[in-house]
């Protein structure tokens, strides 16, 4: 589980590393998300270790936080689910 500070730093670390890897300027979280999705396996090698190191967590914790929490900002709850959960 990431601390509040680590969650705040997470996006900045992602952005920094992706800009270093791709040599592109990233202007939004959505652009960052799409760029990460397009990374080749070769470029992904060691990526989560670097992210984790940047916020003092394990590679698995960084990976899991990305896929289970950070990326949720790009999805909407379905109207059917909203009616159930309020």
3-12, 32-41, 59-68, 69-78: lowest mean pLDDT where?
69-78
What is the per-residue DSSP string for 24-62? Answer: ----SHHHHHHHHHT--HHHHTTHHHHHHHHHTS-HHHH
pLDDT tens digits, one per residue of 47-76: 999 999 999 999 999 999 999 999 999 887
Report d(CA 82, CA 64) in Å as an integer.
Answer: 25
- Tokens 């698995």 belong to which residue? 60
Structural domain boundaries in the chain: 4-74
Task: Quote the pTM value.
Answer: 0.82
């Amino acid at each position: 589980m990431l601390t509040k500070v680590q969650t705040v730093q997470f996006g900045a670390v992602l952005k920094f590393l992706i800009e270093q890897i791709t040599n592109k300027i990233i202007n939004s979280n959505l652009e960052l998300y799409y760029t990460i999705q397009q990374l080749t396996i070769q470029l992904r090698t060691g990526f989560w270790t670097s992210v984790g190191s940047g916020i003092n967590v394990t590679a698995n914790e960084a990976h899991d936080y990305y896929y289970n929490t950070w990326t949720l900002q790009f999805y909407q709850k379905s109207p059917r689910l909203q009616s159930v959960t309020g």
